[in-house]
Chains A and B, each alone.
Chain A
Amino acid sequence: MTSESPTVFVVDDEESVRKALARLLRSASFHVAAFASPREFLESYDPHAPGCLILDVAMPGLNGLELQQQLADRGAGLPIIFLTGRADVPMSVQAMKKGALDFLTKPVNDESLLAAVRGAIQRDYADRQARAELGDIKQRLETLTPREREVLVHVVSGKLNKQTAAELGTVEKTIKVHRARVMEKMMVQSVAELVRLAEKAGIRPAE
């Protein structure tokens, strides 16, 4: 968990439902922020705040699916649990395709809702961890010189120092020095570890 405790955002236009859901979540010790409309939520939403979003599908004005789209456009990877008055298969498929975590039917049982919320928060935590790690790796990659980057690609591709030297038009000794510098800058002890980091950063092995 990060230092900030996660918040469950509830967006439902029906006040009584919104109030009851918030209560249920608070009874399970979640931190809750409730909004009457997607617009209201977007206005105050901080993408850095961890947590998840419980969203009513059918709302006047901007509906749930449209909000999901807008969040995706902003690059906010907040996990969304959809609530719907009726099981509408095409709609749930569409929502799931766009990355909805769960699609629950009203009235919703506490166990299912809380389980979904817990799952969503975990997912958010994992996503944020992954994003943080990726950022870290990318930062380290920044410190590499263009030559060192080239060497990295060759190492990741599993090529021998000799092969690399030949392809880059230099001697094996130089490659060794570069390789040691890359290992140092990327803060790894083994080639295996380096390959994993490169993979996470999306560096594809050269053909």
Chain B
Amino acid sequence: MSWVTVIWSMTAAICLTLAGVHLLVWLRARDAWVNVLFSVCAVAAAAHAGFELGLMRATTTEQYGAVLRWSHVAGSVLVVSLVWFVRLYLRAGRLWLAWTVCGLRTLALALNFIFTPNLNFREITRLRPFPLWGETVALPIGVANHWTLIGQFSSLLLLVFVVDAALTAWRRGERRRALVMGGTLVLSILAAAGQAALLVWGILPLPYILSLVFLGLIVVMGYELSRDVLRAAQLSRELRESEARMSLAATAADLGMWEWDIVQDKIWTTDNSRTRLGVGISERVDFNRFLQSLHPDDREDVSHALAKSMNGEGDYGVEYRVVLPDGQVRWIAAAGRSEFDAGHKPVRLRGVSMDITRRKQAEQQVQQQRGELAHISRVAMLGELSGSLAHELNQPLTAILSNAQAAQRFLAREPADLNELREILKDIVAEDKRAGEVIQRLRQLYKKGEVQRQRLDVNEVVSEVVKLVQGELVNKAVALHTELAPALPPVSGDRVQLQQVLLNLIVNACHAMADVAAADRKLVLRTGFSAGEGVRVTVSDRGCGIPADNLERVFESFFTTRPEGMGFGLAVCRTIIGAHHGKLWAENNADRGASFHFTLPAEQGNQA
């Protein structure tokens, strides 16, 4: 049993095993170049061990010289791959030094094959038996080749390169890596190069045992790399856990996740998202399939929002309805972000979606209740106004009756004045239409209709209301002044609700002036526009004003100064204006009385 054979063989075997392991790592992750370089180092170290065993078993000087020559191949490969391993692993090291080391080592290798027997010796004179672990191995005695300095110089440069790279890594904060890898390399290089030099120059007669140093180096390098592999494994476990946590959170919040591969037009979604869209679990979903599942009225909005995000105009965020195969409609809120390639082309849109049907239903319920309250308040107010409203019908009825009876009398005459009769009939038709319009307007105000947003000319709304309150103004002996700004931009609103607000403000203004001398009862209706606040409507009275403490309180529910008032007219008005994204407030006039103002945002686009 030869210990030397066993130890050197095992050294080679260990190195090869580690090389194989890391080669496998590289096969699984093709960008793990550091593992490849390690494998090359390890294979070179294993080869070197083999050569060393050959050297120790050499029987002739020629044989020794030849093996030593070939062992340089393994040594050179080891040095070159170490250089690039350090650069990759520590992400440091001067490039020019790296190339210089490689260049010198290549030059040394070339010289090794030019000189006979090799780079180290000009001549090996004899082999001296050297006792090692109970057996005898060959130890060369000869004349050193001066060119061997080139190889040693390259080892020195390698040392400098490693120290420099380790210092850079250390300064960068990767202290452990720098210390362990740098330290091991420095020690190994010093030991290996030192032993080789001492042997060549005949200072320390000891056979080549560099492989043992290399083994240490390879084991440390392998251990460090394995740590990285282990860390990667730990990271992936943590990532899995974090994913699990995220998916738990997403499930708990009922969030669906989706990803649209724009290039291949393929949409991946979580299962809950699929259920939500009403598509099968294994069905292929592309953009058209997704669009198909949406409510037809929402398709354009969604496409538009997607296009905006894909044009790089911010994140994607939209609410839409999905019509399920059974006809059920669900509300979904989705948000996402586009990802772009180097050419700023959108390649992927990733995001989440959420079922907001319940929230939407609640919103609708609130809106419905708001509408009902507005209706109750409106009907109550119309009740208060009924006397005046009757007046609006009475006038046309009076005109019609008198006209018709006049016509009967004219007809009884001989000859009947046909021109007169024609005029009368024309007037009757006109008056009848007028009465019909009054009834129509009243019907709309009494109706408990859905809120209908449309483009409105505020001046038109004011004029319609003025027609309804004419009687009230006359009864209360209030003189009305209207100051309507020409060319107001249109607003988006519900005609009936805005009429209700105006009616309320006008009726309140009339009440506020009840105790004022008839000649002073002046009501001003004013409209105006400014870019900042949009369209503003003002109802001004000449009453006694509002105590400063009450300027806000008048908008509270059940606040009233009138015994017959229910006290939620103004509260409802504020809600209505708020729902129109406007503002309603009160202030006292500088001289006397109070003014109520409300604003409505102007519709974007063309002017009215």
Contact = CB atoms under 8 A, between A and B. Distances in A.
B401 interface: yes
Residue in A21, A24, A61, A110 with the greatest tally of chain B CB atoms within 10 Å: A24
Contact of A16 (B387, B399, B410, B477): B399
A23 B475 contact: no
A26 B66 CA distance: 147
A27 B399 contact: no
A58 B391 CA distance: 10
B123 interface: no
A63 B473 CA distance: 13
Contacts of A58: 391, 471, 474-475
A177 interface: no
A85 B391 contact: yes
Range, interface on chain B: 20 to 34
Contacts of A14: 395, 399
Interface in A96-126: 106-110, 113
Contacts of B401: 20, 107-110
Contacts of A89: none
A93 to B, nearest CB: 18
A60 B519 CA distance: 10
Contacts of A60: 473-474, 477, 479
Contacts, number: 84
A86 B390 contact: yes
A106 B402 CA distance: 10
B398 A106 contact: yes
A19 interface: yes
A109 B405 contact: yes
A120 B498 CA distance: 48
A87 to B, nearest CB: 11
A56 to B, nearest CB: 9
Interface residues of A, number: 24
Contacts of B394: 85-86, 106-107
B257 interface: no
B402 A59 contact: no
A74 B479 CA distance: 27
Most chain-A CB neighbours within 10 Å: which of B390, B399, B407, B427?
Answer: B399
A60 B475 CA distance: 8
A28 B408 CA distance: 11
A19 B424 CA distance: 10
Contact of B395 (A16, A27, A61): A16
Nearest to B424: A23
B390 A27 contact: no
B403 interface: yes
B579 interface: no
Contacts of A85: 390-391, 394-395, 471
B501 to A, nearest CB: 24
Contacts of A17: 395, 398-399, 402
Interface string B428-456: 00110010000000000000000000000
A109 B473 CA distance: 27
B406 interface: yes
Interface in B417-433: 420, 424, 427, 430-431
B391 A110 contact: no
Interface in B461-487: 471, 473-475, 477, 479
B65 interface: no
Nearest to B420: A23
Contacts of A28: 409
A151 to B, nearest CB: 55
B397 interface: yes
A107 B477 contact: no
B428 to A, nearest CB: 9
Contacts of B420: 23
A107 B473 contact: no
B406 A27 contact: yes
Contact of A110 (B390, B396, B400, B409): B409
Contact of B402 (A23, A61, A63): A23
Given A16-B427, A19-B427, A107 B402 contact: yes
A110 to B, nearest CB: 4
A27 B423 CA distance: 14
Interface string A57-89: 011110100000000000000000000011000
A24 B402 contact: yes
A84 to B, nearest CB: 9
Contact of A20 (B406, B475, B477, B479): B406
Contacts of B396: 16
A19 B406 CA distance: 11
Contacts of A63: 477
Nearest to B401: A107
A89 B73 CA distance: 129
B406 A24 contact: yes
Interface in A164-182: none
B400 A23 contact: no
24 contacts: A14-B395, A16-B399, A16-B427, A16-B431, A17-B399, A17-B402, A20-B398, A20-B399, A20-B401, A24-B402, A24-B405, A26-B406, A27-B409, A58-B471, A58-B474, A60-B473, A60-B479, A63-B477, A106-B394, A106-B397, A109-B405, A110-B401, A110-B402, A110-B408
Given A17-B402, A24-B402, A107-B398, 16 more contacts: A14-B395, A14-B399, A16-B427, A16-B430, A17-B398, A17-B399, A19-B399, A19-B427, A20-B427, A23-B403, A23-B424, A24-B406, A27-B413, A28-B409, A60-B477, A106-B394
